[in-house]
Every structure is written in C-alpha cells, then in structure tokens.
A and B are shown apart, each in its own frame.
Chain A
C-alpha cells in the first residue's frame, strides 16, 4: 500500500512538473546580439474594449525612453549599453511621421541612456554610466551636449535612471544601487562590472552603522580555485565588516532620488533606501511617484518573493533598502531562502519605511510610468506602468513569465489591472508566445494632449544560458488610443 501511495504521489508530481506547471528557464539559444526578425501584429495585443494599438516605429536598437517637444514631435533614446555587456553608442532620435528616425545626438560607450525629458528647447537625458559613471546630460535641439550632473555611482548592477521635470524648475531622477542587496558578490562578476571595477560598492546617503554580518564566497578575480574572500555590506569585494562599524554617508549615493535645478546647481537628495528607482512621474495632483525594482534571488544575500513597488515619494524619507522589502523587514520568514536568510545589515535603521502605493509582480521589472490626465483617454489619476518582464533564471525562478505588459494602477487603493497584454494562453513576451505583440515594454508616456499612450518596447531579449542576449533592431514604439466610448 505504501509503495502504491508513493508511486501515486511521484507520478502526479511528475505530471505537475512536466505538464502545464513549468518553471521558466533559459530560452533563446546561444548568446548573441544579432538583429532578428520581429513580426508586428497589433491584433495580437489585447486591450480593454474601445482602445486600439499601432506600432509607429520599429527597427530601433534598445529604445528606453520617450519625450515630446512643443509641437508633439516624438523623440526616443536608444540605450547603447544593455545587460549582456553589449556596447553601442547611445542615441537620441527624432521619430519622423513616416516611421523613420533622425539622429539628434549620440554618446560614447557610457550607456545606457535610460530616458529623456524635454523642456523649453532642451532634452535632458539620463546617462547610465556603466563605464565612466552616471550623468545627466543637457542636449540642445542641434545635438550639442553639456553635462548637468556627473560622477554618479553607476558602475554596478543599476544605473542613473530616467528623468522627470517638475513644475518647481527642478529635474528629478533616480540612482540605482551597485548590488542586489548591499553586498558585492560573485553575481556582480557574472554581470561583468566587478572585473572592471573591483573596488566599487554601494554608498549610503548618510552615515550608517553595520551589524557586521559578512559573506564568504569564492574569489573569481584570481586564478586560484580555492581562493575565498569575505565581504561586508557597503564595502569593496573582499573587505569584511565589523560589528558597529560606521560607513560614512556621501552625496551622490546609491539607491536614491535626487533633484537638480534645470539651469544647473548642487545635487539635492530627495529620498533614499531605494533599490532601483527606475520610473518617475508626477500625478495630476502633483505627487511624485516612483517605481522601484525589488530584490533578486541571487548573489551573497538573495531576497525571495519581494515584489516591485510603486511608492509615493516623500521628501527626506528612507524606503528600507537593504533591510526591508515593500516596507516589510527582510529578516522575516516571509523572505527566507534555503541558503541565506536575509538578516539585517544595519544595526540601526534610519527610519521606518512607508507603506507602498502598490506592490507589483516579483521580477516583473516594473519600470517607466506615467499618469493619465484626461477623460479622453480615461482612467484619470491612475498610473500606467511598463513592465519589462522577468530576467529569469538569472534573477530567480518563476512558474511563468512575469511582466512583458503594461498595467494600470490605482495609487489610492493599490489595485492593479492589466492594460495591454499579449493574446495567448499564458502571459509572456511575443517571442515566446509566437505572436506579433509586445516584447519588453520599458517606458510609457502620454502625449502632451493626454490623448494617446506611447509604449517604448525595448525589443527581444532572451535569457540564454550565457546571460541576456538583447537583439539589435527589434525595438518598437507603440501608440495606444481610445477610439470608442466604453
């Protein structure tokens, strides 16, 4: 009887594992960045009744951001650098009515350019700064580039993120952290940057005191297979911490939102304790919101089950990184992983993190956002968020593709609804679903009239066994309009 029972359980578990419940793994074959054919079929994208979608530009290489001038002309940024360690010149392009592009400006190998905002005759571009540090660039309509901000700590996992311009005459932008959860580890070697910058690490925005927790790993920087190193939080790879050690804060720092006057001036800290504050936007009532990418299950101190977050930004607030997730402590059974339970790194916390406006899918990579402002489009006051989609298995494992769509969020209730998704039996990118729909939405922006939502689709980026393999010339800009009363 016991044998029969065991057979029954094993057989059913095998069916479950091999059948319709699939743990998503690598796909896309060998790693390369070659251009790839991408069919575009707007009818493969499902929208709420009354809305239509059309591609207005295609063949872009790693598009990331979008803005409009006074005439409503569309401009996009191409990132240049992308995960997978591909190095191309980042670009600012004008989209012409016939779908072609005209180059306004190009950078060097210091991408990714993560987004742009237009104001009063100038484009403001966030330069990710993987090689030379992050910058905010001011670009004239004729393509002349000057630096508004430079020296941002962007050599790591996350970069200088997309800008937004406030009515107060300031430019706001996010700065991502160097690491997943505060500790430099072998995952950063595999990302590529630890070899280039072996002393780089996270920087707190004010003085912090450590618990002294350390993490021992093999040393990928030496030839000796048996070489091990021990690393503490906010310290270079191979440098251990001690209990009650103080780490000096500095500006600029990691995982923060800054602002700077449009005419230039000192960098001001707005908020910190964020992980990768990617998308910024002001709601119709003037509240600043930010999307923040949650922890990955990787590295020396993996997190588990921590969603991406939409935060209402409060000036001077600390949002919890690296010890809290979505406002909840990481040192909790809820986030326990088999190998490393995330214990607190900080002996004293700079504050209590606030409650999120909304918690989005784990690994969804919820990035660009914008708010609907007109009844013509509908959903006034709701946030529309581009979900780039998961990067599993590099960041953890999932039962199915997460993200790869546009969602709308009611920031007052935290209720999330899908807005633009691919028509397929399960959710996922067009290249997996074998259709002509959305691939990896990375930014959304309403036109100045508020009547159309533009979606920047980064393009095809499979996660191969060798890492991300973003395909050139597969980026698309989609336009969503409301065509009928609901």
Chain B
C-alpha cells in the first residue's frame, strides 16, 4: 500500500479529480438512441470525432457507458483532462489498464474532434420522441 501511495509528482495535480469522480459516478451514463433519442451530429467535426471514438474508445466504453473500462458520460472531466487521459498511460496511482494513444494513432486534430464528440455525448439529453414512449 505504501508503494501505491508514493505518488509521482505529475499524478498529484490530478488528485482533485477523485472527489469529482465519486460525486458524479452515481448518475446514469446512458446516452444511446433508444434511451434518450438520437444525438444530432450536425457538424463534420462531431462526425469525425464519433468515428475516432468508434475506432479507439467504443470497445471499452460502449457509447460512453461502462464496459471493460469505467463509464465516461457521467464524469465531468474538462477537455484538458480528457486529452491527458487519451495520451497518457498513467492514471490514478498507476491504476487502470487503458492504453495511451500516440499521435500516429490519434492525431492532434483527431484528438480535438474526439473531445468535441465526448463532450457532446455527455451533454446529450432526452428528446421528446423518446420521452413520450
């Protein structure tokens, strides 16, 4: 345990995220079409981000829900934290198995598009068509 708590210096700056995760983790992460209605993908950037998400993220976080990895949709991480998480293998105290994605796998432009999509997915709300079911 002592070994576990020897924090690398760059990990300490993210400790504030722990209570955020605890407080936010109990909300539902479900955003898919049958549950909330279709998400409007109106820009090319959003569409590109969705494709990047499907190629690299979907397998472990299906539509941002929990899968092999934890759910993403109910964690209010800012864009900078999302970018850090995608690029960096280390996360809290080295816990977690998510791979880091290098620039040849997700380019800087694709990373911007991915973050736009992940935020849009997180913000997606119930539409009237589904609410009336």
A binds B: yes
1/0 per residue, CB under 8 A from B, across A46-61: the answer is 1111100000000000
User: Which of A83-91, A102-110, A235-243, A414-422 forms contacts with chain B?
Assistant: A414-422
- Is A359's CB under 8 angstroms from B69's CB? no
- A304, B99: Cα distance in complex, Å: 11
Shortest Cβ gap from A99 to chain B (Å): 25
Which residue on chain A has the smallest CB distance to residue B127?
Answer: A49
| From B26, B62, B93, residue with most partner A Cβ within 10 Å | B62
| CB-defined contacts of B50 to chain A, threshold 8 Å | 415
Shortest Cβ gap from B120 to chain A (Å): 14
Which residue on chain B has the smallest CB distance to residue A414?
Answer: B54
Residues 1-27 of B at the A interface (beta carbon under 8 Å): 1, 5, 15, 18-19, 21-22, 25-26
Chain B interface, number of residues (Cβ within 8 angstroms): 42
| From B58, B59, B71, B97, residue with most partner A Cβ within 10 Å | B59
Shortest Cβ gap from A447 to chain B (Å): 21
- Is B5's CB under 8 angstroms from A9's CB? yes
- Is B60's CB under 8 angstroms from A305's CB? yes
User: Which of A13-21, A73-81, A166-174, A454-462 forms contacts with chain B?
Assistant: A13-21
Shortest Cβ gap from A396 to chain B (Å): 8
- Is B54's CB under 8 angstroms from A415's CB? yes
User: Which of A186-194, A423-431, A470-478 forms contacts with chain B?
Assistant: A423-431
Which residue on chain B has the smallest CB distance to residue A24?
Answer: B66
Residues 33-80 of B at the A interface (beta carbon under 8 Å): 33-35, 37-38, 50-51, 54-55, 58-60, 62-63, 65-71
Shortest Cβ gap from B74 to chain A (Å): 9
Assuming the contacts A417-B32, A418-B35, asked whether A16 and B18 have C-beta atoms less than 8 A apart, the reply is: yes
**By DSSP majority rule, is chain B's interface helix, strand, loop, or mixed?**
loop
Query: Is A250 part of the contact surface with B, judged by Cβ < 8 Å?
Result: no
- Is B67's CB under 8 angstroms from A399's CB? yes
Shortest Cβ gap from B128 to chain A (Å): 9
- A78, B99: Cα distance in complex, Å: 40
- A420, B133: Cα distance in complex, Å: 14
Chain A interface, number of residues (Cβ within 8 angstroms): 50
- A3, B38: Cα distance in complex, Å: 48
- A486, B34: Cα distance in complex, Å: 13
- Is A399's CB under 8 angstroms from B30's CB? no
- Is A413's CB under 8 angstroms from B62's CB? no
- A361, B65: Cα distance in complex, Å: 11
Residues 362-414 of A at the B interface (beta carbon under 8 Å): 362-364, 396, 398-400, 402, 413-414
Query: Is B111 part of the contact surface with A, judged by Cβ < 8 Å?
Result: no
Assuming the contacts A426-B28, A426-B29, asked whether A359 and B34 have C-beta atoms less than 8 A apart, the reply is: no
- A255, B93: Cα distance in complex, Å: 39
- Is A419's CB under 8 angstroms from B34's CB? yes
- Is A420's CB under 8 angstroms from B34's CB? yes
| CB-defined contacts of B133 to chain A, threshold 8 Å | 46, 49
- Is A361's CB under 8 angstroms from B67's CB? yes
Which residue on chain A has the smallest CB distance to residue B129?
Answer: A49
| CB-defined contacts of A426 to chain B, threshold 8 Å | 28-30, 65-66
| CB-defined contacts of A420 to chain B, threshold 8 Å | 34
1/0 per residue, CB under 8 A from B, across A244-286: the answer is 0000000000000000000000000000000000000000000
- Is A362's CB under 8 angstroms from B28's CB? no
Q: List 27 A-B contacts (CB under 8 A).
A: A5-B5, A9-B93, A10-B1, A12-B18, A12-B21, A12-B22, A16-B21, A16-B25, A20-B26, A21-B66, A46-B35, A47-B34, A48-B37, A49-B129, A49-B130, A50-B129, A304-B97, A333-B89, A361-B58, A361-B62, A361-B68, A400-B71, A402-B62, A416-B62, A417-B33, A426-B30, A486-B129
Pairs A-B, 5 closest by C-beta atoms: A307-B59, A400-B66, A418-B32, A46-B34, A49-B129
